């Protein structure tokens, strides 16, 4: 219940903030989504406070305001997709996908020193003179002292051009591991639980959360996920940094990686639903200003169908799912 006269109580503000953070986490469960809708509809005060946080977030992240009030039509769309996806991987995936229509992570931005919004690529300078180019939907925190230069990459992708300082090592921390500069230019990319590093100039030392480390030289790349360190591979510098010049280049990339990149540039979320789709291969050169063109190419060349659940959520499902269920 709201407070008398329509005023918002401290408890209601706390509840709204907690729900806003949870809905923005990207791993909401179906049961939690239902709880949120119940809470949102319980009182005008709940809805008003939640929408106030939305407006603040939209201004903070320079994103257009979009109403996310659960509507009967949206609820019907959610249930319809969930029923279909029961046949191809479980309804929890679809429900989480609906909640993931919230772009970005509010908590990350609050604790970050530099961040970019959807479709924004921006160059900045760190206190030591090092250059950083942040890809769209990326966020970093800076922790410099007399003895160290640490940057925490909360989310997204960044290109680093490190200023020389023999007294203070330069490290990029991501997902429990680290990348230490042994030269100047390199890219670190956080995509889900995976962290990929490629070297454009000189060398870096990459350490996985397990402590396993590897030295990367010019033209090499490596990924770690959890405690596992991948194998060192050859990196194409033009491909790995094309986003800095307004392009996305995919050379036999898995669909999951392509979707992760596309989501940096479109307002809303593209979500893969269904087993067997994530590893489909994609190749091509695309304009980051036209993420819709990438989606069109995916649908045209791969055995997938795009279903718009809401203006903020498009799911990719197997092309033959309807034939299987008819």
> Which has the minimum average pLDDT: 171-175, 248-252, 306-310?
306-310
Q: Does residue 95 sit in the same domain as residue 115?
A: no
Residue-level pLDDT at 80: 34
Q: Does residue 205 sit in the same domain as residue 176?
A: yes
Q: Does residue 157 sit in the same domain as residue 230?
A: yes
- Is 235 a residue whose pLDDT tops 60? yes
Report the CATH number that the domain containing residue 233 is assigned in CATH: 2.60.120.1440
Query: Up-side HSE of residue 57: CA atoms within 13 Å toward CB?
Result: 24
Q: Does residue 99 sit in the same domain as residue 114?
A: no
- Is 325 a residue whose pLDDT tops 80? no
How many domains, the chain? Answer: 3
Q: Does residue 127 sit in the same domain as residue 221?
A: yes
What is the share, in percent, of the chain residues with pLDDT greater than 70? 76
- Is 144 a residue whose pLDDT tops 80? yes
Residue 20, C-beta contacts closer than 8 angstroms, at least 6 positions apart: 50, 53, 54, 57, 106
- Is 73 a residue whose pLDDT tops 70? no
Q: Does residue 231 sit in the same domain as residue 198?
A: yes
What confidence tens digit (pLDDT) does each residue in 189-224 have?
998 889 999 999 999 999 999 999 999 999 999 999
Question: d(Cα 248, Cα 119) in Å, to the nearest integer?
Answer: 12
Q: Does residue 22 sit in the same domain as residue 36?
A: yes
Q: Does residue 297 sit in the same domain as residue 320?
A: yes
- Is 61 a residue whose pLDDT tops 50? no
- Is 18 a residue whose pLDDT tops 70? yes
Domain boundary among 209, 237, 265: 237
Task: Please state the rounded mean pLDDT for residues 84-108.
Answer: 39
Residue-level pLDDT at 135: 97
Q: Does residue 91 sit in the same domain as residue 131?
A: no
Q: Record the pTM.
A: 0.67
With CA atoms as reference, report the closest residue to 81 among 100, 98, 101: 98
Residues comprising the chain, all counted: 326
Residue-level pLDDT at 204: 97
Task: Please state the rounded mean pLDDT for residues 132-139.
Answer: 95
Q: Does residue 85 sit in the same domain as residue 140?
A: no
Q: Does residue 209 sit in the same domain as residue 272?
A: no
Domain boundary among 104, 128, 157: 104
Report the CATH number that the domain containing residue 251 is assigned in CATH: 3.55.50.30
Domain boundary among 216, 237, 258: 237
Task: Please state the rounded mean pLDDT for residues 173-179.
Answer: 96
What is the share, in percent, of the chain residues with pLDDT greater than 90? 48
Q: Does residue 217 sit in the same domain as residue 306?
A: no
Task: Please state the rounded mean pLDDT for residues 176-191.
Answer: 94
> Which has the minimum average pLDDT: 90-104, 169-183, 196-210, 291-305?
90-104
Question: d(Cα 111, Cα 113) in Å, to the nearest integer?
Answer: 7
- Is 60 a residue whose pLDDT tops 60? no
Domain carrying residue 277: 242-325
């Amino acid at each position: 219940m709201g407070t008398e006269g329509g005023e918002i109580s401290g408890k209601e503000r706390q509840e709204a903030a907690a729900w806003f953070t949870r809905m923005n986490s990207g791993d909401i469960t179906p049961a939690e989504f239902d709880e949120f809708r119940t809470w949102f509809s319980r009182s005008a005060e709940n809805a008003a406070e939640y929408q106030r946080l939305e407006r603040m977030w939209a201004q903070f992240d320079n994103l257009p305001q979009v109403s996310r009030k659960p509507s009967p039509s949206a609820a019907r769309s959610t249930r319809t997709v969930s029923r279909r996806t029961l046949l191809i991987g479980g309804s929890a995936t679809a429900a989480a996908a609906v909640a993931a229509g919230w772009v970005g992570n509010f908590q990350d931005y609050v604790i970050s020193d530099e961040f970019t919004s959807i479709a924004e690529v921006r160059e900045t300078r760190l206190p030591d003179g090092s250059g950083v180019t942040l890809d769209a939907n990326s966020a970093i925190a800076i922790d410099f002292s007399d003895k160290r230069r640490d940057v925490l990459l909360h989310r997204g992708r960044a290109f680093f051009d490190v200023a020389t300082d023999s007294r203070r090592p330069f490290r990029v921390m991501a997902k429990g591991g680290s990348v230490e500069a042994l030269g100047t230019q390199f890219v670190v990319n956080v995509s889900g639980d995976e962290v990929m590093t490629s070297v454009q100039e000189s060398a870096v030392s990459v350490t996985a959360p397990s402590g396993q480390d590897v030295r990367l030289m010019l033209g090499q790349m490596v990924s770690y996920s959890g405690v596992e360190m991948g194998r060192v591979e050859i990196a194409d510098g033009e491909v790995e940094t094309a986003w800095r010049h307004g392009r996305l280049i995919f050379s036999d990339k898995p669909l999951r990686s392509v979707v992760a990149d596309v989501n940096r540039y479109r307002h809303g979320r593209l979500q893969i639903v269904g087993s067997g789709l994530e590893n489909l291969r994609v190749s091509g050169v695309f304009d980051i200003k036209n993420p819709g063109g990438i989606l069109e190419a995916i649908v045209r060349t791969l055995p997938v169908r795009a279903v718009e659940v809401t203006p903020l959520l498009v799911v990719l499902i197997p092309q033959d799912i309807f034939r299987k269920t008819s």
